[in-house]
């Protein structure tokens, strides 16, 4: 089968349009070259970016009623959405906030009705969407709300390292209160299920970080491990989950311990992601677990400071595309 992948380039003033053109006009490795890539974007924006790069880009009108076929070299299939205002690299314009949200809506609806097999997202700018008068906290929350899903899990991956987060974008002072037994069980259940169903790991091994230094040092450096984390893990172990920990993060993120794990659950954003980005910066990707469809994303932001300079690296986008297509193929085995 030919996977049909929706691609939203994201903020039009950022590096998303540049990445889209580079994806189209550079050699695509397998399996990306065997997929149909449907950019949900303003066609004039992409053609202007191609002209700026001195590249010839063919845009093929997307027809959902036709069987999926691989997107040819130097081309993108296009589901056209019009900008509200002309985009200038590096200059945010709240007038285009609704445009960004419309591209996400089309991708989400298309994934739900099986028009698309997966969605890959470029970087958006949360601030400018909020300035446009729309409350928006991020891709992950948007897709969850659109799908009617109560809880999703953010997992980042780089090479063979997968790191999921028990909490995401919270001030450090709020993390402890957000880690409850029920919340941990919910996150770990979603992580376990997706490792089995999406990644086809029959018996996932999940390493779990403690919250405190030394995983609390037996209660001397905090009691969250004793009062909350360990009871939650014991409950899930009784249901058959293979959980390692809680271990101190500086112990768990070492090669011998990671070799025992298919994924790691970090308690907060900056506990796990610095390690992952050190290992695979430029190749790391974001995967949303718990949605009724496959969604991957680049691991970087809009990079307004380099927009329009042609120096943006496609490494993370290619990795996100590759992972999405691989997950689609695994579903059809």
The pTM for the full model equals: 0.94
Binding-site residue positions: 139-140, 169, 214, 269, 277, 286, 295
CB-based contact 273:238 (threshold 8 Å): no
- CA-CA distance, 118 to 96, in Å (whole number)? 24
CB-based contacts of 276, cutoff 8 Å, min separation 6: 156, 157, 158, 161, 163, 284
Binding-site residue positions for a divalent metal cation: 169, 214, 269
Q: What is the pLDDT of residue 22?
A: 98
CB-based contact 314:283 (threshold 8 Å): no
Interhelix angle 97-112/139-147, rounded to 10 degrees, is 50
| Residue ranges in the chain whose pLDDT is less than 70 | none
Closest CA to 16 of 326, 316, 327, 325: 316
CB atoms within 10 A of CB 111: 24
Q: Check residue 35 and report its DSSP letter.
A: S
Binding-site residue positions for substrate: 139-140, 277, 286, 295
Q: What is the pLDDT of residue 109?
A: 98
CB atoms within 10 A of CB 253: 24
**What is the dihedral angle through the alpha carbons of 321, 322, 328, 332, rounded to the nearest 10 degrees?**
160
Which token pair is 228? 């909350």
Q: What are phi and psi of 296, to 5 degrees?
A: -125, 165
- pLDDT tens digits along 103-112: 999 999 999 9
What distances in angstroms separate CA 43 from CA 7, 40, 76, 77, 307, one per listed residue? 13, 9, 10, 10, 18
Q: What is the pLDDT of residue 113?
A: 97
- pLDDT tens digits along 282-314: 889 999 999 999 999 999 999 999 999 999 999
Q: What is the pLDDT of residue 72?
A: 97
**What is the Cα Rg of the chain in Å?**
20
**What is the dihedral angle through the alpha carbons of 130, 132, 133, 135, rounded to the nearest 10 degrees?**
-30
């Amino acid at each position: 089968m030919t996977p049909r992948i929706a691609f939203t380039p994201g903020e039009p003033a950022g590096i998303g349009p540049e990445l889209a053109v580079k994806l189209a006009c550079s050699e695509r490795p397998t399996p990306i070259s065997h997929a149909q890539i449907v950019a949900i974007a303003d066609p004039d924006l992409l053609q202007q970016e191609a002209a700026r790069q001195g590249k010839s880009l063919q845009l093929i009108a997307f027809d959902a009623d036709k069987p999926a076929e691989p997107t040819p070299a130097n081309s993108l299939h296009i589901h056209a959405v019009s900008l509200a205002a002309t985009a200038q690299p590096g200059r945010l314009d709240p007038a285009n906030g609704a445009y960004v949200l419309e591209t996400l809506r089309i991708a989400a609806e298309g994934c739900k009705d099986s028009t698309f097999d997966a969605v890959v997202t470029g970087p958006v700018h949360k601030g400018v969407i909020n300035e446009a008068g729309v409350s928006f906290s991020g891709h992950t929350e948007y897709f969850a709300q659109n799908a009617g899903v109560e809880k999703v899990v953010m997992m980042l991956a780089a090479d063979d390292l997968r790191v999921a987060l028990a909490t995401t974008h919270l001030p450090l002072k709020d993390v402890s209160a957000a880690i409850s037994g029920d919340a941990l069980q919910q996150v770990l259940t979603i992580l376990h299920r997706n490792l089995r169903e999406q990644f086809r790991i029959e018996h996932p091994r999940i390493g779990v970080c403690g919250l405190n230094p030394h995983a609390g040092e037996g209660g001397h450096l905090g009691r969250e491990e004793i009062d909350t984390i360990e009871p939650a893990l014991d409950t899930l172990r009784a249901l058959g989950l293979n959980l390692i920990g809680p271990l101190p993060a500086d112990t768990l993120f070492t090669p011998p311990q990671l070799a025992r794990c298919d994924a790691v659950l970090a308690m907060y954003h900056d506990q796990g992601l610095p390690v992952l980005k050190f290992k695979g910066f430029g190749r790391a990707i974001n995967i949303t677990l718990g949605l009724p469809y496959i969604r991957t994303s680049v691991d970087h932001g809009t990079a307004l400071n380099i927009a329009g300079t042609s120096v943006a690296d496609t490494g993370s986008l290619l990795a996100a595309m590759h992972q999405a297509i691989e997950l689609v193929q695994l579903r059809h085995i």
